[in-house]
């Protein structure tokens, strides 16, 4: 897959952080240093398969080159402020990125599968009415190193980044904080690293980008990646969707579904489906007629549907869907022939529902100062809730 943006090289003051560089950017980097191209694959494996964060352990690289690398670059993951482990195996990381902001990454085990929910931005500018991240407003895009760094941190925490280590992170969903298509270049580079054989080697069927519908960027996506696609729809018509997902006023449902369909149909392998995410909110979008309208809307689109019970938070007046309404909604869609799953709540004890990162984020940002004061060496702290 192609790279999106040219690589930025080190200035006199800043070292290049190799953690966020795709293989082709690493190749360019070594070539510009007058070194052999194959060094890129070696370094990529050291970082992403063996968890290296320094050059000394890179035993197949000469001492002279290691010294040269040390002078010009670094391998710098973001800082883990806290690691919280739920009794159900869910693990949440509060991660501090450059500048002091905090983002969340959540690992959700489910049998053989382990899904990592990764953040792409600090905050989000799209202001969906039911989303805690949206209420924070937009702070900044995460760098590629900060995005892939979340995978590195989680995989390392499970001992995955050692020779023969357990393969715990089997799936990644870009469903944490932020809108991935608003941070296109860094997200695409990171997703391609997740799927690269010399990095994490996760199948393209197990890496998913979720978007609320930034159509111009979705139209470009197929040029750069072949990951799976999830669309955050949440409403069966434009009138209701305009209320819930304001970007719909700019790129309405028909336009979004056409763009998503072009992406899926452009992928080399057939039988791929778009995941439709539908957050069910009590008395807002959860009535049987909404389900029937949704079934009609998606009639000719290759989809599977994932229903998400709304996760309440204190800045919102919306309420969680009732179990009855949710069951009825699911039944109608299934009777209409759609594969329809319900996202179960996990990691309740650590407030870790993926895509519903309600953990009072602004407050967390302030609290990060306290954590730092408390745990002065910024060591990761594991809190096991019983
Ligand atoms: N910005 C992207 C990805 C992050 S949000 C997007 O919107 O798709 C990931 C998923 O969680 C989205 O489907 C989003 O609509 C959903 N979500 C956000 N806040 C939620 C809440 N309070 N309860 C339930 N789902 C929520
Ligand atoms: Fe942003 Fe997604 Fe939240 Fe909407 S749902 S505000 S796009 S993070």
pLDDT digits 0-9 by tens, 155-196 = 999 999 998 889 999 999 999 999 999 999 999 999 999 999
**CATH number of the domain encompassing residue 247:** 3.20.20.70
Residues 246 and 144 grouped into a single domain? yes
Residue 279 has pLDDT above 50, yes or no: yes
Query: Which tens digit of pLDDT belongs to each residue from 92-127?
Result: 999 999 888 999 999 999 999 999 999 999 999 999
Residue 369 has pLDDT above 50, yes or no: no
Contacts of 317 (CB under 8 A, 6+ apart): none
Last residue of a domain, one of 74, 95, 110: 74
Last residue of a domain, one of 45, 74, 103: 74
Residue 250 has pLDDT above 50, yes or no: yes
The whole-number pLDDT of residue 314 equals 85
Find out whether the beta carbon of 212 lies less than 6 Å from any atom of ligand 2. Answer: yes
The C-alpha atoms of residue 287 and residue 90 are separated, in whole angstroms, by: 32
- Going by CA atoms, what residue is nearest to atom 4 of ligand 2? 128
Active-site hit among 23, 96, 104, 179:
104
Last residue of a domain, one of 74, 97, 124: 74
**CATH number of the domain encompassing residue 22:** 1.10.150.530
Ligand nearest to the CA of 315: 1
Residues 259 and 318 grouped into a single domain? yes
- Going by CA atoms, what residue is nearest to atom 3 of ligand 1? 175
With tokens 């869907």, the residue in question is 321
293 catalytic? Reply is no
104 catalytic? Reply is yes
Q: 330-335: which pairs have CB atoms within 8 A and are 24 or more residues apart?
A: 332/288, 332/291, 332/292, 332/295, 333/291, 333/294, 333/295, 333/305
What total number of domains does the chain contain?
2
In ligand 2, the atom with minimum distance to the C-alpha of 245 is 4
The C-alpha atoms of residue 155 and residue 201 are separated, in whole angstroms, by: 12
User: pTM of this prediction?
Assistant: 0.90
Domain with 85, as residue range(s), is 79-376
Helix (H, G, I), strand (E, B) or coil at 280: strand
């Amino acid at each position: 897959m192609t790279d999106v943006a040219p690589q930025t090289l080190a200035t006199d003051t800043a070292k290049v952080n190799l953690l966020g560089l795709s293989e082709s950017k690493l190749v360019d980097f070594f070539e510009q240093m007058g070194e052999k191209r194959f060094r890129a694959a070696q370094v990529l494996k050291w970082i992403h398969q063996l968890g290296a964060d320094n050059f000394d352990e890179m035993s197949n690289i000469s001492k002279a080159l290691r010294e040269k690398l040390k002078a010009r670059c670094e391998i710098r993951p973001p800082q883990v402020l806290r690691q919280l482990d739920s009794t159900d195996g869910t693990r949440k990381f509060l991660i501090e990125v450059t500048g002091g902001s905090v983002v969340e990454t959540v690992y959700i085990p489910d049998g053989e599968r382990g899904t990592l929910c990764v953040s792409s931005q600090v905050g989000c500018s799209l202001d969906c009415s039911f989303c805690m991240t949206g209420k924070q407003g937009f702070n900044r895009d995460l760098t590629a190193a900060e995005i892939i760094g979340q995978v590195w941190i989680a995989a390392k925490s499970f001992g995955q980044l050692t020779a023969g280590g357990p393969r715990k992170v089997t799936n990644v969903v870009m469903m944490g904080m932020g809108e991935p298509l608003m941070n296109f270049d860094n997200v695409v580079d990171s997703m391609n690293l997740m799927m690269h054989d010399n990095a994490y080697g996760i199948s393209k069927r197990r890496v998913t980008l979720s978007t609320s519908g930034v159509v111009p960027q979705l139209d470009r996506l197929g040029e750069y990646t072949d990951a799976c696609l999830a669309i955050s729809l949440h409403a069966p018509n434009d009138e209701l969707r305009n209320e819930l997902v304001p970007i719909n006023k700019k790129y309405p449902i028909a336009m979004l579904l056409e763009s998503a369909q072009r992406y899926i149909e452009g992928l080399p392998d057939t039988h791929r489906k778009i995941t439709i995410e539908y957050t069910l909110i009590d008395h807002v979008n959860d009535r049987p007629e909404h389900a029937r309208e949704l079934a009609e809307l998606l009639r000719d689109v290759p989809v599977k549907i994932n229903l998400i019970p709304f996760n309440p938070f204190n800045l919102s007046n919306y309420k969680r869907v009732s179990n009855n309404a949710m069951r009825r909604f699911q039944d109608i869609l299934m009777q209409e022939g759609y594969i329809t799953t319900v996202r179960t709540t996990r990691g309740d004890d650590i407030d870790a529902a993926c895509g519903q990162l309600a953990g009072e984020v602004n407050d967390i940002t302030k609290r990060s100062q306290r954590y730092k004061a408390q745990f002065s060496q910024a060591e990761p702290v594991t809190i096991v809730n019983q």
